[in-house]
Structure 1
Amino acid sequence: MTNSMKHLTSLLLLLFLAPIIIATVQTPLLSSESDEPKNEDTPLVYAAQLETKPEIAEIVEPKKAFVYFTHSHEAYPPILAAKGAKVDVYDSENNITSFQDQISSQFAFHQVETEFLAERNPGVMDNYSTIKPFVQAAIANNEYDIILDLHRDTVKADISTLQSGGESYAKLLFVIGTEHDNYKWNEQLANDLSDQLNKIVPGISRGVLIKSRKDGNGVYNQDIAKNLLVVELGGVENTEQELNRSIAILAKAVSNLFNQQIPS
């Protein structure tokens, strides 16, 4: 090959390689030490993730219940017998109000805050007329999701007790008076809560008993609020253990009623 041809070939080769050489100088090839480009911000991102607490998807606001006992001296003879006290269906000390701590703790466990009517005269049992103004005053400046007036029924164990899953429970009954404008609202709430109870332990609720003035009081102070329910908690032959189990189920049912997203 002549010298002129060699020079021409070298010149063409140089012209062909020039763009590649320039690009290489301006943009260095990646080092073989890493298959990914380095990101100077990466340590900062990781630090932020470690320092930030994970967010909770949803926080359920606790519901509020107001609980009182119109017939506060209603007692359970098996409990009195176990305590060595005089066995009777009424007692000024060992009675349905003794379950306040159990109600409060079980409701709190199921995200329901509970407030009770302040104790009045422990030596005197109220009736619907005498307790009404105190209940009205207590709920006047507060919003409650549910108001419960708890009682002890007079029925015996064959009606008030449920055997289920190897355990025994005190059954619950809802009493709704029809002699006031709210009663359809109270009745609907009672039916809904009764259904929730029976979803958890089938048969634990005896249902809803509708009463007019011919059948009894007819109002039961439910004219005070649309969400006020009279609840019969067991009967005269139920034990403390049966009542405690049922209070736990009642708490869970109330919670489920207002927070449907909480699994049963």
Structure 2
Amino acid sequence: MSTDKELFDQMKESYAMNPRPDFVSNTELYLRKAAKKAKRKSSFQLISITSGGLIACIIAMSWLFTFNGKEFIHNTLISVKENTPSSIMNKNEPLIYIYHTHNHESFSSETLSKDPNKAFHHEKNISLVGSRFSQALDKRNISNIHEKGDVMGDLKQKGETYYQSYTVSRELLNNALENNESIKMAFDIHRDSHKRNATTTKINGKDYAKIVFIVSQSSPNYDENLNFAENLHYKVMELYPGLSRGVVIKSDTNKQSTYNQDLKDELVILEIGGFENTLEEEYRTVDALAEVIEEILKTEK
């Protein structure tokens, strides 16, 4: 049986400068048929490798000698891509957007404060939990963006009040959505002010920070966001019983009550744990949540 090199040399001798398109097409068709036939004879692997090598040689010759192989190569690459196992990781097409309207919210373990209204820190705060969530999604090949914008810092710099924080985070969210049409889900991650006994559960002997899903009834996307939050809740409880505290519907009538959920369906506030939870407990929870997101995305393919 001739080697790839020998066949390639023969091809160069016969078609030294300009192999005809029909030659390329017919040769490719012949090789594909040969590969199928060989598979039935349990010799698929050897023939496939040989065929793949010959096809690559033909493509290279056609492009190098005729400078007209762009379309053929493009189509071939598309064919290869279609037969490659798919991945939901593509940093140019993020599926998840993670941000923090109250990004300085922190924990007693980091601030030594026993007052949830004073447990704030400009570095050791809930944004570390968002970063861990982003990393957990990365490990599962789920593309995402973790927003690094300092909402609370911007408020202080502008001399605005705490209650205007959703106006600042709205700008970040809107910018992310406009520049990344691929974003499917968005999470505004906070920590709660409830005591530890209400925000903690034990799973397999380890403490986890419980999750609350918050939806605004004032948003025009209320139905979609409620359905999204409920799906998350049920999937969390299926995989990690006791980890979710449920879905909370906010029905305030003031403008801020939309929590910017009018900008996007499949957007919810996540309150993960409370000020008495530790970062380690928070990390366990977002690791689990990444698994939940992966399962949901699989069912939607």
Letter of the 1:48 counterpart: I
Residues 77 and 88 of structure 1 are in contact (CA less than 8 Å); yes or no, is this contact kept in structure 2? no
Unaligned runs of 5+ residues in structure 1 are: 1-38, 82-86
One-letter identity of the residue aligned with 2:213: F
Q: Secondary structure at the match of 1:234?
A: strand
Counterpart position of 1:74 = 105
* Matched AA of 1:213: D
Contact 1:96 1:151 in 2 (8 A): yes
CA contact (8 A) 2:200 2:273 kept: yes
The aligned counterpart of 2:158 is none
Aligned-residue offset at 1:108: 1.1
SS at match of 2:263: coil
| Matching residue within 105, 127, 131 for 2:169 | 131
Contact 2:137/2:144 (CA < 8 Å) preserved in 1? yes
Deviates more, 1:96-105 or 1:67-76: 96-105
Helix, strand or coil at the partner of 1:123: helix
Distance 2:182 2:219 in 1: 21
Match of 1:116 among 123, 137, 146: 146
1:213 to partner: Cα distance: 1.0
Instruction: Give the structure with the larger helix fraction.
Output: 2
TM-aligned CA distance change 1:261 to 1:213, over 3 Å: closer
The match for 2:221 among 165, 182, 194 is 182
2:106 corresponds to 1:107: no
RMSD: 3.1
Change over 3 Å in CA distance of 1:123–1:106 after alignment to 2 = same
Amino acid at match of 1:128: Y
**1:61 aligned residue:** 88
* CA offsets 1:165-213 (integer angstroms, 9 cap, x no match): 1111000001111112111100000000111111111010111000111
1:1-264 aligned at under 5 Å gives the runs 47-49=46-48, 58-62=85-89, 64-81=95-112, 88-120=118-150, 123-124=153-154, 127-141=165-179, 142-213=181-252, 217-260=256-299
Residue deviations 1:143-179, cap 9 Å, x none? 2121000001101111100012111100000111111
Unaligned runs of 5+ in 2: 1-37, 53-81, 156-163
Contact 2:217 2:258 in 1 (8 A): yes
Whose radius of gyration is greater, 1 or 2?
1
Q: Closer, same or farther in 2 for the Cα pair 1:190/1:73, shift >3 Å?
A: same
Preserved contact between residue 217 and residue 251 of structure 2 (Cα < 8 Å): yes
Identify the residue that residue 25 of structure 1 maps to in structure 2.
none
- For 2:240 and 2:254, the matched residues in 1 are separated by 29
Residues 1:46 and 1:209: Cα distance change in structure 2 (over 3 Å): closer
CA contact (8 A) 2:201 2:210 kept: yes
Q: Match for 2:167: what amino acid?
A: S
In the aligned structure 1, how far is the partner of 2:274 from the partner of 2:255? 18
State the 1:227 CA deviation.
1.4
Do the aligned partners of 1:107 and 1:113 also contact (CA within 8 Å) in 2?
yes
2:66 corresponds in structure 1 to: none
TM-score (norm 2): 0.64
- Check whether the contact 2:137–2:143 (CA below 8 A) recurs between aligned residues: yes
How far does residue 80 in structure 1 lie from its aligned partner after superposition?
A: 3.5
- How far residue 228 of structure 1 moved from its aligned partner, in angstroms, is 1.0
Q: Is the CA contact (8 Å cut-off) linking 2:138 and 2:144 kept in structure 1?
A: yes
SS in structure 1 of the partner of residue 175 of structure 2: helix
